Structure 1
Amino acid sequence: MSSETLREIGGGIRETSAVGLGLVPLGLAFGLLMVQSGYAWWWTPIFSIVIYAGSMEYLAIGLIAAGVGPFSALVTGFMVNFRHIFYGLTFPRNAIRSKVGRAYSTYALTDEAYAIASARPPGEISGTRLLTLQIVCQSLWVFPGIIGAVAGQALPDGLKGMEFALTALFVVLAWEAFTNNKDWSLPLTAVVLALLAGFLAPGQMLVLALTAYFVILLFRFRLPGLDRRMEMRVPDHG
């Protein structure tokens, strides 16, 4: 293994460390929630490897317990993870040379991996670093989940609030993305679209809002003049 490869692996681990600190309590909470919901501890790594989609994993606990059919679960999973279609449009998977690596990168595309990769300018991340950060992200989800599940067997039943951990991470990721690009038009547009979609079609709010948001971003990318008029950046006071 060359020194350049080792340097990229080390860089990927360092870049993932901040988000990883958020994944550890999430994984612990998921493992605790699994055993508190009546599952054996060893179901936790199965969920985390087969599904590996944080929000859908939390949702799958209730879906399976309620006996939801495969088709309904499929539709629900598609709607919950619909945003990954848009992630895939800009995720730098082409930096990975091997077919196996690209296949894993597609499987391991998560909000956290996308947020880390998107913080870099286009074309400035290597395939080695990209795979490293995705492997680290999944490891920091799977192994704490196992620890949480094993430890959760000793806790009393009926603990509440652990499912909110994933929502808390999304809030942190959104704030970090905003601090890197303080374009107020982006969060304001997202809020308006979410409110409109929630009012018009509450059951399809996420899909409708994300689709509309993607179309708006596409127009902004294609029409630079429109992009300049829509930007409302915060003044830099030093």
Structure 2
Amino acid sequence: MKKGGYKKAFRAAFPYTIPVLTGYLFIGTAFGVMFQEKGYHFLWAVLMSCVVYAGSGQYLAVNFFSPGVGFLDVIIMTFMVNVRHIFYGLSLLERFAKTGKKRLYMIFSLTDETYSLLCTTKIPQGVAEDQFLFAIAVLDQFYWVLGSAIGALAGTFLPLHSQGIDFAMTALFIVIFVEQWMAGGKRIPAVIGICSTTVLRIVCGSDNFVLPSMICIMVCLILGRKYMDQDQKEEAISNAG
């Protein structure tokens, strides 16, 4: 391993994570405010973001601390909110196999935004792939923990209200999607995602469409992978020429 390899990887990864930085500082702060409103010490919000780090799952967890919430309800709701991560992991098996001892952390730190960056960001020249991917994951979690700390501290000392603040997570998803769409490249996966979720939301209803949509998207991507891979190879050859 070359000396300074990780330092180089973090420097290379940082510009790609700036959109996540701006988003996570805001929605992490929102989570911290919501968590502190439940009456907990601000350090608990920071600790939760360090050891749970579930994004929308943490937003949901805030409500689980309310009296009367059943254990079974917690299990079902957490599974429904985070079931998409099963499909994220399946699509990154080959890439994570190259990360060695860092693989467990890469699995733990796989959020929607990190997944998006890992799938779409090209590895810069002169940077080890495993170190670059690891740097993206670490930076993203750092932003989230920092935002949580800011929000919890602000909620402790300032008269803040969290009504409507949970929409911040949805807004971040939209911004990342639009940014990637505007960047160009192959938009077939995005079209598949839009069509699948739209149709299945109509068919299954707003409360039951997430899991069927994820299954539909995964099946379509698997069936169309050969075509998309071939298309990417032809594009790479064309650019090289």
Contact 1:29/1:145, CA 8 A, preserved across alignment? yes
Check whether the contact 2:12–2:124 (CA below 8 A) recurs between aligned residues: no
What letter is aligned with 2:167? F
Task: Tell me if structure 1 keeps the 8 A contact 2:5–2:131.
Answer: no
1:196 aligned partner: 199
Partners of 2:122 and 2:36 in 1: CA distance: 42
TM score, norm. by length of structure 1: 0.82
Pairing partner for 1:93 from 90, 93, 96: 96
Once the two structures are TM-superposed, the CA of residue 147 in structure 1 deviates from its matched residue by 1.8
* Counterpart code for 1:137: D
| Alpha-carbon distance in 2 for matches of 1:114, 1:82 | 14
Q: Please point out which of 169, 179, 182 is paired with 2:182.
A: 179
Deviations 1:121-171 (A, max 9, x none): 589861111111111111111122112111112232644221111111100
Structure 2 counterpart of 1:20: 21
Deviation at 1:181, TM superposition (A): 4.1
Change (3 A) 1:64 1:197: farther
| Residue 137 of structure 1: aligned partner | 140
- The amino acid across from 1:75 in the alignment is I
Q: Please give the root-mean-square deviation of Cα atoms over the aligned residues, in Å.
A: 2.6
Structure-2 change in CA distance of 1:3 and 1:122 (3 Å): closer
Contact 1:119 1:180 in 2 (8 A): no
> Are the aligned partners of 1:31 and 1:44 in contact in 2 as well (CA < 8 Å)?
yes
1:88-127 maps to which residues of 2 (within 5 A)? Answer: 88-91=89-92, 92-98=95-101, 101-121=102-122, 126-127=129-130
1:188-211: CA deviations, max 9, x gaps?
443332233223333321001111
- Counterpart residue type for residue 216 of structure 2: A
C-alpha distance in 2 between matches for 1:69 and 1:50: 22
* TM score, norm. by length of structure 2: 0.81
Q: Which residue of 2 aligns with 1:32?
A: 33
Do 2:114 and 2:140's aligned partners in 1 also have CA atoms closer than 8 Å? yes
What is the aligned length? 224
What are structure 2's unaligned runs of at least 5 residues? 232-241
User: How far apart are 1:71 and its partner, in Å?
Assistant: 2.8
Q: Is 1:31–1:41's contact at 8 Å kept on the other side of the alignment?
A: yes
The range that moved more, 78-87 or 155-164, is 155-164
Q: Does 1:58 align with 2:62?
A: no
Distance of 1:34 and 1:135 partners within structure 2: 23
Instruction: Provide structure 1 residue ranges, at least 5 long, that are not aligned to the other structure.
Output: 229-238
Which residue identity is paired with 1:128?
A: Q
Q: Distance in 1 between matches of 2:187 and 2:10?
A: 34
Aligned to 1:148: 151
Query: Does structure 1 residue 165 correspond to structure 2 residue 172?
Result: no
Tell me which residue corresponds to 2:12: 11
How far did residue 33 of structure 1 move? 1.4
Distance in 2, matches of 1:159 and 1:4, equals 42
Change (3 A) 1:40 1:5: closer
Over 3 Å counting, the alpha-carbon distance change for 1:3 and 1:52 in structure 2 is closer
C-alpha deviations, 1:79-130, integer Å up to 9, x for none?
11111122112332122122xx111111011112111111235898611111
Shift of 1:179: 2.5
Tell me whether 119-128 or 55-64 shows the greater mean CA deviation: 119-128
Question: Separation in 2 of the partners of 1:198 and 1:15?
Answer: 32
